[in-house]
Structure 1
Amino acid sequence: MEYDNHFVKVEVDRSVALITLDRPKANAVDLALYDELRRTFHRLGKDDRVRAAVFTGAGKVFCGGNDVTDFVDLDFEGATEYLAHVRLTFNAMYDCPVPIVGAINGGAVGTGIVLATLCDVRIASERAVFALPEIDVGVLGGARHVMRLAGQGMTRMMMYTGRRIDAEEALHAKIVDRVVPHDDLMSTAMELAGEIAEKSPPAIRLAKQGLNRCETMSLKEGYEFECTLTAAVRQTAEASEGALAFLEKRRPRYADRG
């Protein structure tokens, strides 16, 4: 699987894809980069080598948000078209069947904080900071994604003020799941992705599908949907191998895809 990207670097090693946003100076996202991210996550879901992914930013910033030069002459019609590209990109990342571990290495502002929330698990460097600064540059957006994790009060405070919060505040607000020393960030994220990659590939993909769908379902509807996924995963050879390995007290032997 070839990715052929300019600013989104993809490396696959032992079933784990390392995806690095690399657009100097601050990994700011313009229209072309939104489309490159969308294509990357679509392809990632079809890449049979990949069982888990780590998503991070190059340099000192995770993602500095939108390239504000895109907004200077943007009128209503232009904004409507532009934001359609943005939504498709965010949907591609959320819907990607491969679990994504976010390694938040620095500033995650605007689009950056949304990209962080779209990861399945977020591990932050102690140097990371988070913000919704759209109110200061004449746009709105991103708050609904943050609200999935942080709740109403924190999201509204960040949206209304554009104020930055540090990694510990983000951990307390549940925007991230763990904060680690900066030098330990990538090893911690890669270790978690490696642990996920050792699980049954079809079961992991069905599990992510179930978790995504259950977010918008009631308790009873969500569990009923999970039951249909359990029946589906039982049709795979990996399910039988997993159960047999458990009984025989050994590691399961899944087909090598990496």
Structure 2
Amino acid sequence: MPITSERAEDGIQVVTVDCPPVNALTVRGWFDLADAVRSAGADPEVHVVVLRAEGRGFNAGVDIKEIQAAGGYEALVGANRGCYAAFGAVYDCAVPVVAAVHGFCLGGGIGLVGNADVVVASDDATFGVPEVERGALGAATHLARLVPPHLMRTLYFTARTVTAAELHTFGSVYRVVPRDALDDAALDVARDIATKDTRVIRAAKEALNGIDPQDVHRSYRFEQGFTFELNLLGASDEARQAFLDGKGR
């Protein structure tokens, strides 16, 4: 199963993504991830969720092969809706979500991490949105929650990545640790949260979302509209195929 969910300790639910080779999720995978996070938050016995991944990296976004293999726009619309659901599930989760990031965190991975409450990363983690090189737009909403405005624009237009250590200087990554210490570091933060009165923590999560200056749902949906326009123009299909053919960076 690409998405699994298990009770690691009292009050701590761990949701794991394991979709080889690069954790690029299919349409079903995004909806399954959304369901797992949403269900965890709805369980009164869960005080905090840890979102982590197995394999080479945390997340490589959507499964481009699935979109290219499908006729029409059904898979594209499905990917858009699936990402929207998964990102929203993390943001709206009734309890805090701690993201444990290793390796690459790209595209959809930024959507998950940008909407998480706490980010812990390994020292080999890199973050970026290669969307412009794939003929798409999206996750700028979430990248903007990790870096200052002008750096966000630079990273977006150039499709470059930023390291966990750099994000730590901005305060968006809470801790940077060696790869083999990542799970323990994430659980350490989760344990601290789990010891608090869950009634207070749940109220705090709702309150913090309520005072957020950016409506992440509406903002991301606005971005997705341009992705669909680019598909209608043919730019997205050309960029995705070039990537699959090995012509993309």
TM-score (norm 2): 0.79
Match of 2:107 among 110, 113, 116: 110
Structure 2 residue ranges without an equivalent (≥5):
215-249
CA distance in 2: counterparts of 1:58 and 1:197, whole angstroms: 24
1:71 aligned counterpart, secondary structure: helix
Aligned ranges for residues 95-244 of structure 1 at < 5 Å?
Answer: 95-216=92-213
Q: Are the structure 2 counterparts of residues 46 and 189 from structure 1 closer, same or farther at C-alpha, using a change threshold of 3 Å? A: same
Q: For residues 202-229 of structure 1, what are the alpha-carbon distances to aligned partners after superposition, in whole Å with 9 as ceiling and x for unaligned?
A: 1110000001111138xxxxxxxxxxxx
Alignment pair present for 1:19 and 2:21: no
Q: Are the structure 2 counterparts of residues 126 and 209 from structure 1 closer, same or farther at C-alpha, using a change threshold of 3 Å? A: same
Corresponding residue for residue 3 of structure 2: 8
Alignment pair present for 1:55 and 2:51: yes
Corresponding residue for residue 225 of structure 2: none
2:30 aligned counterpart, secondary structure: helix
Corresponding residue for residue 31 of structure 1: 27
1:61 aligned counterpart, secondary structure: coil
Q: Are the structure 2 counterparts of residues 40 and 184 from structure 1 closer, same or farther at C-alpha, using a change threshold of 3 Å? A: same
CA distance in 1: counterparts of 2:58 and 2:86, whole angstroms: 17
Deviation at 1:108, TM superposition (A): 0.4
2:58 aligned counterpart, secondary structure: strand
Corresponding residue for residue 233 of structure 2: none
Corresponding residue for residue 90 of structure 1: 87
CA RMSD of aligned residues (A): 1.8
2:23 aligned counterpart, secondary structure: coil
Corresponding residue for residue 228 of structure 2: none
CA distance in 2: counterparts of 1:132 and 1:211, whole angstroms: 26
Q: Are the structure 2 counterparts of residues 195 and 137 from structure 1 closer, same or farther at C-alpha, using a change threshold of 3 Å? A: same
2:150 aligned counterpart, secondary structure: helix
Deviation at 1:110, TM superposition (A): 0.7
Corresponding residue for residue 238 of structure 1: none
Q: For residues 43-66 of structure 1, what are the alpha-carbon distances to aligned partners after superposition, in whole Å with 9 as ceiling and x for unaligned?
A: 112212211121111023111221
Q: Is the 8 A contact 1:26 1:64 kept in 2?
A: yes
Deviation at 1:80, TM superposition (A): 4.2
Deviation at 1:76, TM superposition (A): 5.8
Match of 2:36 among 40, 44, 48: 40
Residue identity matched to 1:183: D
2:209 aligned counterpart, secondary structure: helix
Q: Report the structure number with the largest CA radius of gyration.
A: 1
Residue identity matched to 2:31: D
CA distance in 2: counterparts of 1:202 and 1:55, whole angstroms: 21
Residue identity matched to 1:36: D
Q: Is the 8 A contact 2:104 2:126 kept in 1?
A: yes
CA distance in 1: counterparts of 2:77 and 2:5, whole angstroms: 30
Deviation at 1:190, TM superposition (A): 0.3
Q: Which runs of 4+ in 1 moved over 3 A?
A: 73-82
Structure 1 residue ranges without an equivalent (≥5):
1-5, 218-258
Q: Are the structure 2 counterparts of residues 61 and 81 from structure 1 closer, same or farther at C-alpha, using a change threshold of 3 Å? A: closer
1:194 aligned counterpart, secondary structure: helix
CA distance in 2: counterparts of 1:8 and 1:81, whole angstroms: 18
Q: Is the 8 A contact 1:154 1:173 kept in 2?
A: no
1:199 aligned counterpart, secondary structure: coil
Residue identity matched to 1:69: K
Deviation at 1:112, TM superposition (A): 1.0
1:18 aligned counterpart, secondary structure: strand
Residue identity matched to 1:40: A
